[in-house]
Copies of this chain bind each other. A is one copy, B any other.
Amino acid sequence: MSRPNPVIKDTLLDAAETIAARDGVARLTFDAVAAEAGVSKGGVLHYFTTKDQLIEGMVKRTATRWRDYFKAAYDNEPEGPGRMTRGLLKSCFTDAQTWTEALRRAFGSVFAALAHNPALIEPMREAYTEFYHYVEQDGLPPGVAESVTTAMDGLWFYWVLRLRPVNQGDLDRMRGALELTLDDALKSVAQAAA
Residues of A within 8 A of B (CB): 24-26, 110-111, 114-118, 121, 124-125, 128-129, 132, 141-144, 146-148, 150-155, 157-158, 161-164, 170, 172-178, 181, 184
Is A24 a contact of B129 with CB atoms below 8 Å? no
Is B128 a contact of A146 with CB atoms below 8 Å? no
Is B116 a contact of A158 with CB atoms below 8 Å? no
Residues of B within 8 A of A184 (CB): 184
Give the complex CA separation of A24 and B110 in angstroms.
Answer: 12
Q: Contacts A115-B24, A154-B154 hold; do A125 and B163 have CB atoms under 8 A apart?
A: yes
The 10 closest A-B pairs by CB, nearest first: A154-B154, A143-B177, A143-B173, A151-B151, A150-B154, A25-B115, A157-B157, A115-B115, A147-B177, A128-B163
Q: Which of B117, B158, B161, B175 contacts A114 (CB 8 A)?
A: B161
Is B176 a contact of A118 with CB atoms below 8 Å? no
Q: Contacts A147-B151, A163-B125, A174-B146 hold; do A111 and B118 have CB atoms under 8 A apart?
A: no
Residues of B within 8 A of A24 (CB): 114-118
